[in-house]
Amino acid sequence: MSSINGTSNGSDSKKLRVEDRMEAAPSRVLHIRKLPNETTETEVIALGLPFGKVTNILTLKGKNQAFLELGTEEAAITMVNYYSTVTPHVRNVPVFIQYSNHKELKTDAGNQRAQAVLQAVSAVQGGGTPTSGSTVDLALTAASSPVLRIIIDNMFYPVTLDVLQQIFSKFGTVMKIITFTKNNQFQALLQFNDPSTAQQAKIALDGQNIYNSCCTLRIDYSKLVNLNVKYNNDKSRDYTRPELPAGDGQPAVDPNMAAAFQGKDSSSLLGALSPLNAAAAAAAAAGRVALSGHSGSSGVLLASNLNEEVSAPLNWVYGDCQRVKILYNKKDSALIQMADANQAQLAMSHLNGQKMYGKVIRVTLSKHTSVQLPRDGLDDQGLTKDFTNSPLHRFKKPGSKNFQNIFPPSTTLHLSNIPDHKMALLQMSTVEEAIQGLIDLHNYNMGDNHHLRVSFSKSTI
């Protein structure tokens, strides 16, 4: 069995008490309480794997507790800090993690099962091959699978790191993501907080399309058990360490974006997974996976580094803009309320990082759930605009064909509602010019109650 600070025989184990409820000083030994019955060593180890090397474990099954020793005190601090904002779960039961008063766990030869699991994990972490044997092999299979390898086939539309986080967080806490291109294919490594969650996500999402008839998810288990993320930017993200730098030449992660993807709300942004069907696909803007049933999630965006006239017209391309509020102390930023969280996510994925008026705009999910109108009699200098009853809304009707004509910003504009003509295509020299043209011309009054409709097209002239 394992022991604390040298305690190694059965009688001494009775001396192990519940850790003092008072907050202990940081230690690489962590005390885990309220574990469900029959929790395995593998499940306890999986809690620590995202944060670094796990060097020892002691389970107190009669008390539903365990002690977990990490390789460094820094790793333990990161783990405790992360789980103070995101409640850890084992078998869907919330558990509690705190520093132990002890500084190390010592192990004798009696704790064979736990040591077999640790050896299997260490072999994979070090790139070696574990010893053959049923206990070790089973431990390796379970303990080495919190990381999924994702390949996007038929990638007609761009897929971002944030889109992957939104889709996979439905199944549990996403800890880290690394995206890259290999063999001309967009790929990603995505790490969950435990292997069982990764398994559920793989079973549910493998073979599904992110967008209608394209961007197919091909998912397998990675040989890695932990991802080493050095930078937080558009290509890699460690949600357990928001303080990481962006890296040279990479846009930094907006603090509001980091906050939006942490905490209990991170797994509720997409709502319950539902079967993909035509109505859901249309309502989720051309078939985005699992975007229906988003109970309690926000449809408010925070857009920054823009001109205030940009906010509403551009977002109407990706949904029905309800309200816009220019921030009083930061006129280049605005809160934009869309009709629902699906439309907000769609607008963010297509508009974040686009260049307008010579500036790169940032679009993130806001912590606000709605944009409040000014109180009666209060003059807010026209900073808040209400478009709730605007005739420009094009996505009110579920299953509308307008959902099938939503495309990323491109150099080609689609013009409709033209007098004497049904529609036309207009080719601009750059995407930035096309964005400017859409802002200036959408809803332009062409006479006789004909208002020009402008959107992006997938076609070229």
What's the whole-model pTM score? 0.41
How far apart CA 202 and CA 215 sit, in angstroms, is: 16
Please choose, from the candidates 227, 168, 180, the residue with its C-alpha nearest in 3D space to the C-alpha of residue 49.
227
E strand spans, 7-159: 29-33, 54-60, 65-70, 89-90, 93-94, 96-99, 105-107, 147-153
Question: Within 13 Å of residue 63, how many CA atoms lie on the same side as its CB?
Answer: 16
Residues 6+ apart with CB under 8 A from 383: 325, 326, 327, 328
Per-position pLDDT tens, the chain of length 461: 444 443 333 433 444 444 344 457 899 999 999 999 888 887 888 788 778 788 898 888 789 999 999 989 988 988 888 888 778 888 778 899 999 988 888 766 556 666 666 766 655 455 444 444 434 344 444 445 689 999 998 776 778 898 898 889 888 888 999 999 888 788 999 999 888 788 878 877 888 888 766 788 999 888 888 899 999 998 999 988 888 888 765 554 444 434 433 333 332 222 222 222 222 332 333 333 333 333 335 688 888 887 755 555 565 778 888 998 888 888 888 899 988 877 787 788 778 788 888 888 888 888 888 998 888 777 778 788 888 888 778 777 765 667 667 777 889 999 988 887 778 999 999 989 998 888 888 888 888 878 888 888 877 77
What are 1's two structure tokens?
Answer: 């069995």
What are 189's two structure tokens?
Answer: 């490594």
How far apart CA 186 and CA 153 sit, in angstroms, is: 8
How far apart CA 320 and CA 312 sit, in angstroms, is: 9
Q: Which long-range contacts (CB under 8 A, 24 or more apart) does 445-454 make?
A: 446/417, 446/418, 446/419, 447/419, 448/419, 450/417, 450/418, 450/419, 451/392, 451/417, 452/415, 452/416, 452/417, 452/418, 453/394, 453/415, 453/416, 453/417, 454/413, 454/414, 454/415
What is the reported pLDDT for 278?
26
- Residue 418's H or E segment, with its range, is strand 412-418
What is the reported pLDDT for 401?
65
How far apart CA 139 and CA 116 sit, in angstroms, is: 7
How far apart CA 89 and CA 393 sit, in angstroms, is: 42
Are 2 and 68 in contact by the 8 Å Cβ rule? The answer is: no
Residue at token pair 């260049």: 355
Are 324 and 387 in contact by the 8 Å Cβ rule? The answer is: yes
Residues 6+ apart with CB under 8 A from 371: 300, 322, 323, 324, 325, 335, 336, 337, 384
